[in-house]
Structure 1
């Protein structure tokens, strides 16, 4: 299971992060939910680890859930949860401290920029208004005939 967060600014731009791997696409802050950890706790932990920010994300901020079918034999299906996060202002972004072992950069991206820079599966989860808690979207990604 993975959990990520949509962090926006007052102009409705998305905060995206780039891993240290140059070949990897830009991502949303977040990561793998650890054993015994809730997805909400994972988003908060990842916000603190990756960005150095205490994120005020709550249960009703669930934005999207996607079930992803395994793409290879030996792999397991997984769930990806996406939460609508806080709106950050310049004073907030001045406090961002990247986790340099995992991330080399962050930036604001318009919706169109984010769709072209993020992995297509992640970009596909970002539908509808970005700051509308309580209106979660459910998706399924199937890979017929790949196993």
Structure 2
């Protein structure tokens, strides 16, 4: 039993150190993004999720994508910036909120869309009385099950 406690303790300690390293790396990347971000007005033509190998991204950017992400589908936006049409990568929450076929002002760091500054964003759908009651019932049932 003592051996199991020691093994589990070492595993948790290892995960703690690994988490610290990941957080440090994330903070460094976030600092670089904040340093280089600019506000730009774009016209969103299309948005989709696709693998980096199928996208029209510059060669340097394709080389910098980690191997872990090269086989995954990434959220991208095809937008017109000035007179050029470019493929831009974006965060998942930006991808969900950005409207199609609209002019939007966004924050960009290179080819990464970091945030939406202004524009006509999609309005959340109104929830009817019946749906509100169903949601409350589900919440109550989830609390009772826990």
Larger radius of gyration: 2
Q: TM-score range by the shorter chain?
A: under 0.3
Higher relative contact order (CA 8 A, sep 6+): 1
TM-score normalised per structure 1: 0.25
In proportion to residue count, which structure has more helix?
A: 2
